[in-house]
């Protein structure tokens, strides 16, 4: 990090070398931010820098990180029990950006957590890690152990008087644990059910104590913001938002993958320049720009800048920034069915519309895709998209997220739905039918 990189998050990641150890990390510019922060910055100054950097939460909701921290009561860590939690429960279908960061450079996350914890004065850190991320778990433990040995974690870090340590919790595994309040409930050893707010986690989170939950990618940005300054970070973005973003593309493109790019990079550029365009023989039909719970956009919106505001204007959400491509040879209804199967299965079962509505949707799509759909089924799908899609009707955002691809799909693929029902079979399925 001696020279400010344009790809700060992934600059140190080298799959051939494995994750850097403490010494390598330090040689490449690591620990500068922690040293600076603990040595000469106040928590308020850190919050201020992060606020000015225009960093927004990379988990999908896009809430201002500095803003989020500001709600935390300001007592010093020694006077009040507070928690900083890294949300590493990356379970969004098609999304694998945090895994890259966790496996590639876990010390960067550790340093980011130290900075965030110092900013909100939390003495306790927890990484809530997706259960299946076993390699990340091993590497995180190794990194944390080494950091602790070197005095970056533990009591009185660098003689600053600030103490902080990190515990890794491997999740027992449910998609809903990625929702920050369900994550807290799960950490407490209870059913992973989201909580109502207030109290907000910042004031009454884990076991009632003030808690901040930040996404892994968000936290990994912090060392770079502190070292290089908020203006540098804000300047990295192409539009309103600051920094870089890890974008990814999966589906039938030539080179599926993930890339760190300036936030606000146009979607077309990501697909065509970085993913190498569509595989030969396939046409791009539509895509989910930021994971399974974002609405479909079609080829007319390919020039959208991939930042929070622009994607929303295009009728979808930036989400995780990891796009899933629907090509012209794949049945869109089959794809939606697959998504709704996932959402129905991952409903926590707490509120009625989500618990009993999503399986109904799934079965309707099953029927349509299998050729037994009826005209009335379209009304039912419309009704569910309407009833479950609006916020405030279900307890959390799971069902609205699940309805995003359905509601947009019903509009974009209306002809496909009609064809399925009228022909009594999936037209994409050669030889299928009654």
Partner 1 sequence: MTTIRIDGRDWPTRSDINLLQACLEAGANLPYFCWHPELGSVGACRQCAIKQFSGPEDRKGRIVMACMTPVSENAIISIDDPEARDFRASVIEWMMVNHPYDCPVCEEGGECHLQDMTVMTGHNTRRYRFTKRTHRNQDLGPFVKHEMNRCIACYRCVRFYRDYAGGDDLAAFASHDNVYFGRAEDGTLQNAFSGNLVEICPTGVFTDKPFSAVYTRKWDMRGAPSVCVHCAVGCNTIVNAREETLRRVLNRYNTDINRYVLCDRGRFGHGFVNAPTRIRTPLRIIDGQQVPVPTADALTAFAHMATKGRVVGIASSRAALETCFSLWALVGAKHFSTGQTRQEQECAELAHALLTRHPGALPTLHEMESADAVLVLGEDVCATAPRLGLSLHQSVRQASFHTADNAKVPRWMDAAVRTLGSECPSTLHILTPAPTDLDSVAAETFHAAPDDIARLGFAIAHEIDPSAPPVTDLTPDDAARVARLAQTLMAARKPLIVSGMQYGSRALMQATSSIAAALARTTPAAGLSLVLPECNSMGLAMMGGLSLETVMEQARAGEIFTLIVVENDLTRHLDPADVADLVATVPNIVVIDHTMTPLCQHASLVLPIAAFSECNGTLVNQEGRAQRFFQAVFPPAPIQAGWRWIQTLARGLDPSTLPVTGLIGWGSLDAVLAALATAFPGLAPAAMAAPGGDYRINGEKLRSQTYRASGRTVIRSFVSVRDQPPPASPDTPFSSSMEGAYEPDMPGALVSFYQTPAWNSVQALNRFQFEIGGPLRGGPSGICLLSPAENKNTQARPYTYTTDIPPPYVPQANVVLVLPDTRLFGSEELSMFSPPIMERSSAPTLGLPANTATSDRMMLHLEDGPHVLPVKPVPGLPADTALCPAHMVARAFRFPRMARLEDFPGEGERT
The residue ranges that bind partner 1 (CB under 8 A) are 174, 188, 191, 195-196, 198-199, 203-204, 207-209, 344-353, 355-360, 363, 367, 374, 376, 380, 383, 387, 390, 392-395
> Is 12 strand, coil or helix?
coil
Closer by beta carbon to partner 1, 40 or else 196: 196
Which tokens go with 69? 């921290």
Concatenate the DSSP letters of all residues of 212-272 into one string.
EEEEHHHHHHHHHHHHH-HHHHHHHSSSSS-SEEEEEEESSBSS-EEEEEETT-BHHHIII
**Nearest CB to partner 1, comparing residues 140 and 206:** 206
Tell me the closest approach of the beta carbon of residue 126 to partner 1, in angstroms: 16
Q: Determine contact, residues 243/228, Cβ cutoff 8 Å.
A: no
Specify the residue, 53 or 347, whose C-beta has the smaller distance to partner 1: 347
Asked if 170 contacts 153 with a C-beta cutoff of 8 angstroms, the reply is no
Environment class of residue 392 by beta-carbon count within 10 Å: exposed (0-12), middle (13-18) or buried (19+)? exposed
Q: How far is the CB of 120 from partner 1 (least distance, A)?
A: 18
For the chain, give the longest Cα–Cα distance: 75
CB 203 within 8 A of CB 210: yes
What's the half-sphere exposure (Cβ side, CA atoms, 13 Å) at 423? 17
Q: Taking the CB of residue 390, how many other CB atoms lie within 10 A of it?
A: 12
Name the minimum Å distance from CB 360 to partner 1.
Answer: 6
Q: How far is the CB of 399 from partner 1 (least distance, A)?
A: 10
* Residue 164 bridge partners (DSSP): 154
CA distance 203 to 212: 9
Least distance in Å: CB of 80 to partner 1? Answer: 12
When the beta carbons of 329 and 383 are compared against partner 1, the nearer one is 383
Three-class SS state of 203: helix
**DSSP string over 418-433:** HHHHHHTS-TTSTT--
**Smaller CB separation from partner 1, 18 or 208:** 208
Minimum distance between the CB of residue 190 and partner 1, rounded to whole angstroms?
Answer: 10
Residue number with CB closer to partner 1 (23 or 71):
71
Output the DSSP codes for 337-398: HHHHHHHHHH--S-SHHHHHHHHHHHHHHHHHHHT---HHHHHHHHHHHHHHHSTTSSSSSH
Shorter beta-carbon distance to partner 1: residue 151 or 208? 208
Cβ closer to partner 1: 150 or 380?
A: 380
| Rg (alpha carbons) of the chain, rounded to whole number | 22
Q: How far is the CB of 384 from partner 1 (least distance, A)?
A: 9
Which residue lies nearer to partner 1 by CB, 147 or 177? 177
> How far is residue 298's CA from residue 18's CA, in Å, rounded to a whole number?
38
CA distance 105 to 99: 10
Shortest separation between residue 182's beta carbon and partner 1, angstroms: 11
Closest distance to partner 1 from the beta carbon of 324 (Å): 22
In whole angstroms, how far apart are CA 159 and each of 155, 245, 349, 411? 9, 34, 48, 60
Contact indicator for 146, 157 with CB cutoff of 8 Å: no
In whole angstroms, the minimum distance from the beta carbon of 176 to partner 1 comes to 8
State which residue, 13 or 126, has the beta carbon closest to partner 1.
Answer: 126
Our CB check for partner 1 shows the closer of 95 and 211 to be 211
Q: How far is the CB of 349 from partner 1 (least distance, A)?
A: 4
Q: What is the dihedral of CA 187, 107, 29, 8, to 10 degrees?
A: -70
């Amino acid at each position: 990090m001696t020279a400010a990189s344009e790809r700060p998050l992934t600059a140190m990641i080298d799959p051939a070398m494995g994750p850097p150890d403490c010494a390598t990390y330090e040689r490449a510019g690591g620990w500068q931010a922690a040293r600076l922060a603990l040595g000469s910055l106040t928590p308020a100054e850190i919050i201020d820098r992060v606020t000015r950097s225009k960093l927004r939460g990379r988990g999908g909701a896009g809430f201002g990180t500095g803003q989020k921290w500001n709600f935390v009561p300001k007592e010093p860590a020694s006077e009040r029990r507070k928690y900083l939690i890294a949300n590493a429960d990356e379970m969004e279908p098609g999304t694998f950006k945090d895994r890259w960061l966790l496996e590639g450079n876990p010390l960067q996350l550790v340093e980011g957590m130290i900075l965030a914890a110092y900013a909100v004065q939390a003495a306790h850190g927890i990484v809530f890690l997706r259960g299946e991320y076993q390699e990340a778990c091993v590497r995180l433990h190794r990194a944390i152990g080494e950091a602790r040995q070197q005095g970056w974690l533990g009591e009185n870090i660098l003689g600053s008087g600030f103490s902080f340590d990190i515990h890794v919790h491997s999740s027992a595994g449910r998609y809903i644990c990625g929702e920050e309040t369900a994550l807290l409930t799960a950490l407490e050893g209870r059913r992973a059910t989201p909580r109502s707010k207030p109290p907000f986690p910042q004031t009454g989170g884990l076991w009632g104590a003030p808690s901040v939950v930040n996404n892994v990618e968000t936290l990994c940005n912090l060392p770079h913001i502190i070292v290089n300054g908020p203006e540098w970070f804000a300047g990295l973005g192409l539009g309103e938002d600051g920094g870089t973003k890890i974008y990814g593309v999966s589906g039938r493109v030539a080179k599926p993958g993930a890339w760190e790019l300036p936030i606000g990079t146009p979607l077309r550029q990501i697909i065509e320049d970085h993913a190498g365009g569509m595989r030969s023989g396939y046409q791009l039909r539509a895509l989910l720009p930021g994971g399974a719970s974002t609405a479909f956009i079609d080829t007319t919106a390919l020039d959208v800048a991939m930042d929070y505001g622009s994607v929303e204007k295009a009728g979808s959400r930036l989400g995780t920034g990891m796009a899933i491509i629907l090509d012209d040879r794949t049945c869109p209804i089959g794809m939606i069915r697959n998504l709704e199967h996932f959402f129905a299965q991952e409903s926590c079962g707490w509120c009625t519309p989500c618990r009993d509505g999503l399986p109904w949707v799934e079965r309707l799509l099953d029927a349509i895709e299998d050729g037994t759909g009826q005209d009335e089924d379209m009304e039912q799908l419309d009704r569910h998209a309407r009833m479950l899609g609006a916020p405030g009707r279900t307890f959390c955002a799971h069902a609205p997220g699940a309805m995003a691809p359905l509601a947009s799909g019903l509009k974009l693929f209306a002809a496909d739905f009609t064809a399925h029902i009228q022909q009594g079979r999936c037209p994409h399925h050669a030889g299928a039918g009654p």
